[in-house]
Amino acid sequence: MAYTESLSFDQRLWPDDIAGSVAHVRGLARVGILTEAERDAVLVALEQVASEMGDGSFAFGPSDEDIHTAVERRVTELAGPAGAKLHTGRSRNDQSATDVRLWLKRELMVVAQRVVALQDVLLQRAEAAGGTYLPGYTHLQRAQPVLLAHHLLAHGWALGRDVERMLDALERIDVSPLGAGALAGSSLPLDPDFTATELGFAGRFENSLDAVGSRDHIAEALFVLTLVGINLSRMGEEFVLWTTDEFGFAKLDDGYATGSSMLPQKKNPDIAELARGKAGRLIGDLTGFLATMKGLPLSYNRDYQEDKEPLFDAMDQIRLALGAVTGMIATAAWVPERMQAAADAETSSATDLAEWLVQRGTPFRDAHAIVGALVRRTLAGEGALRDLVAADPALGPEAAALVAPGVSVQRRTTPGGAGPAPVAVQLERFRIKLAELRAATTGDVR
Ligand code: ARG
């Protein structure tokens, strides 16, 4: 029992297990397998079980292998012979599959709502960032200046795709397996469409073997949760960098930072680091469960009991991570002087100088070489880039003005680009997208 039980972790499914039993009992009474009196006795017992579970007074017994057996045992204690009819035409195989789908529908929607809340914080911070700019990086080397708003919204768009993935996955989760029985349906006149509707599912299974013998919806949910975790991890890594003395782009609010037990001066970005560290564990939840699924023949196999712990762990961790990271980003202070000083390194304007030459007819490869040679000379200590540019016959004083602080970011003008004009358009588009996602995730979730 210690090895095979799942009660220790599937207990949390009790509200869904009871909801599934209520629908099942109604379905049985509807086709005359239970009398109305028997149905009502079972429904009263289920209500009693719900209240005992809710207030913590439910006494689990030594033979309660999982939440399903525990609920059924108690219902039978309370309702007598009528209770013994509860499991008619049902198996724990379709029952547990139903429970997890009900649970996942609700929980995944909560995650989607919290991702939208994080997007909202990114939007607010982007709106408030105004003209603040920082270096944009490739290879973690300074590349070209970008508006801070542009950087924040880059994460916002990625999170929006995660929300869309969740909504898409929810369509496949929203299918009732109840009525599939152990694997092949029943000789009793069950109506899976009725129970599906009772439970608020969009529809019922098409194939009973598939209903109890597939877990791709769980693998998919785990993937989306893991991807959210990876996106939080990447943001976390940036906050770890940005809050170093070396970068100095951001300061964490004290409420979202931790001290050191030994070093009095330390202010550590533990939330950002755990967002990064826990992504490893989420990847483990996903890949571990994929390995569990691999090689399983149809239909139900006890291996499937192993779907719950990784799913619950991933869900718990992501919910906590979203709360913590959202708060951290909402309250962090930017240090625009540091960001802009880093972005105003003269060499950041090298591409603008080359493009200035291109607009005057120089082939881009030649322009690249001309500016590259000047950059090499400035790095060798021959003088400031703006002076070398001003003195260069191909460039001159007009081009040298491009090297001045704050000029380069203004010149990122193309659609979707990093400068003020396209970012203003992007902000508007982001607001519209976010309103759509908010509307799609504020549906009533049972
Ligand atoms: N606790 C089990 C699970 O989560 C319930 C199903 C057990 N079914 C069986 N035929 N032994 O999968």
Statement: residue 444 has pLDDT above 60: no
Same domain, 285 and 371: no
Tokens of 311: 């799913």
Same domain, 106 and 182: yes
Statement: residue 102 has pLDDT above 70: yes
- Count other C-beta atoms under 10 Å from residue 61's C-beta: 11
Q: Give the chain's domain count.
A: 3
| Measured CA angle at 312 (ends 309, 317), to 5 deg | 120
Question: What is the torsional sign of CA 258, 261, 265, 269?
Answer: negative
How many angstroms separate the alpha carbon of residue 304 from the centre of ligand 1?
Answer: 8
The preferred substitution site among 305, 308, 311 for testing ligand 1, maximizing ligand atoms within 8 Å of CB, is 305
Domain final position from 88, 104, 130: 88
Tell me the per-residue pLDDT of 329-342, one tens digit each, with 9 for 90 and over: 999 999 999 999 99
Q: How far apart are CA 413 and CA 423, in angstroms?
A: 9
How many angstroms separate the alpha carbon of residue 302 from the centre of ligand 1?
Answer: 6
Does the residue 152 lie in any domain?
A: yes
Q: How confident is the model at residue 286 (pLDDT cuts 50, 70, 90)?
A: very high
Tell me the per-residue pLDDT of 1-37, one tens digit each, with 9 for 90 and over: 999 999 999 999 999 999 999 999 999 999 999 999 9
Statement: residue 445 has pLDDT above 90: no
Q: How confident is the model at residue 177 (pLDDT cuts 50, 70, 90)?
A: very high
Q: How far apart are CA 424 and CA 444, in angstroms?
A: 33
Does the residue 389 lie in any domain?
A: yes
CATH of the domain at 303: 1.20.200.10
Burial of residue 278, with CB atoms counted within 10 A of its CB: 0-12 exposed, 13-18 middle, 19 or more buried: buried
Residue 261: the pLDDT is 86
The response to whether residue 6 sits with its C-beta less than 6 Å from ligand 1 reads: yes
Does the residue 255 lie in any domain?
A: yes
Same domain, 159 and 177: yes
- Count other C-beta atoms under 10 Å from residue 46's C-beta: 23
Angle between helices 364-379 and 350-359 (to 10 degrees): 140
Q: How far apart are CA 151 and CA 238, in angstroms?
A: 11
Does the residue 303 lie in any domain?
A: yes
Q: How far apart are CA 425 and CA 278, in angstroms?
A: 35
Q: How far apart are CA 256 and CA 264, in angstroms?
A: 17
Same domain, 84 and 156: no
Does the residue 20 lie in any domain?
A: yes
How many angstroms separate the alpha carbon of residue 186 from the centre of ligand 1?
Answer: 18
CATH of the domain at 379: 1.10.40.30
Question: What is the torsional sign of CA 401, 405, 410, 414?
Answer: positive
**Average per-residue pLDDT for the chain:** 97
In ligand 1, the atom with minimum distance to the C-alpha of 65 is 1
Same domain, 228 and 299: yes
Does the residue 169 lie in any domain?
A: yes
Q: How far apart are CA 415 and CA 72, in angstroms?
A: 61
Contact by Cβ (8 Å): 21, 8: no
Residue 260: the pLDDT is 85
354-to-170, 387, 389, 399, 403 alpha-carbon distances in Å: 49, 16, 11, 10, 12
Q: Annotated catalytic residue: which of 139, 187, 208, 261?
A: 139
Domain holding 302, by residue range, is 93-139+146-190+206-341+425-440
Q: Provide mean pLDDT across the span 36-43.
A: 98
Same domain, 334 and 349: no
Does the residue 290 lie in any domain?
A: yes
The response to whether residue 92 sits with its C-beta less than 6 Å from ligand 1 reads: yes
Same domain, 67 and 27: yes
Reference 199, options 9, 25, 72, 7; nearest CA is 25
Number of H helices, E strands in the chain: 18, 6
24 is catalytic: no
Q: What is the DSSP string of 371-409?
A: HHHHHHHHHTTS--HHHHHHH-SSS-HHHHGGGSTTHHH
Same domain, 99 and 215: yes
Q: How far apart are CA 446 and CA 437, in angstroms?
A: 19
Same domain, 241 and 294: yes
Tell me the per-residue pLDDT of 347-370, one tens digit each, with 9 for 90 and over: 999 999 999 999 999 999 999 999
CATH of the domain at 15: 1.10.275.10
Q: Bridge-partner residues for 176, per DSSP? A: 204
Q: How confident is the model at residue 443 (pLDDT cuts 50, 70, 90)?
A: low
Residue 229: the pLDDT is 98
**Percent of residues, the chain, with pLDDT higher than 70:** 99
The better pLDDT of the pair 263, 145 is held by 145
Contact by Cβ (8 Å): 25, 39: yes
Same domain, 179 and 319: yes
**Percent of residues, the chain, with pLDDT higher than 90:** 97
Q: Going by C-beta distance under 8 Å and a sequence separation of 6 or more, which residues neighbour residue 207?
A: none
The response to whether residue 95 sits with its C-beta less than 6 Å from ligand 1 reads: no
The response to whether residue 66 sits with its C-beta less than 6 Å from ligand 1 reads: yes
Statement: residue 50 has pLDDT above 90: yes
Q: Provide mean pLDDT across the span 119-128.
A: 98
Same domain, 354 and 259: no
How many angstroms separate the alpha carbon of residue 96 from the centre of ligand 1?
Answer: 7
57 is catalytic: no
Tokens of 171: 């369509």
How many angstroms separate the alpha carbon of residue 59 from the centre of ligand 1?
Answer: 21
Q: Provide mean pLDDT across the span 234-255.
A: 97
Q: Bridge-partner residues for 175, per DSSP? A: 203
Q: How confident is the model at residue 268 (pLDDT cuts 50, 70, 90)?
A: very high
Does the residue 412 lie in any domain?
A: no
Statement: residue 40 has pLDDT above 90: yes
The response to whether residue 312 sits with its C-beta less than 6 Å from ligand 1 reads: no
Statement: residue 219 has pLDDT above 60: yes
Q: How confident is the model at residue 446 (pLDDT cuts 50, 70, 90)?
A: very low
Q: How confident is the model at residue 224 (pLDDT cuts 50, 70, 90)?
A: very high
Q: Going by C-beta distance under 8 Å and a sequence separation of 6 or more, which residues neighbour residue 423?
A: 147, 149, 150, 153, 417
Helix (H, G, I), strand (E, B) or coil at 4: coil
Same domain, 334 and 363: no
Residue 263: the pLDDT is 87
Reference 156, options 188, 192, 126; nearest CA is 126
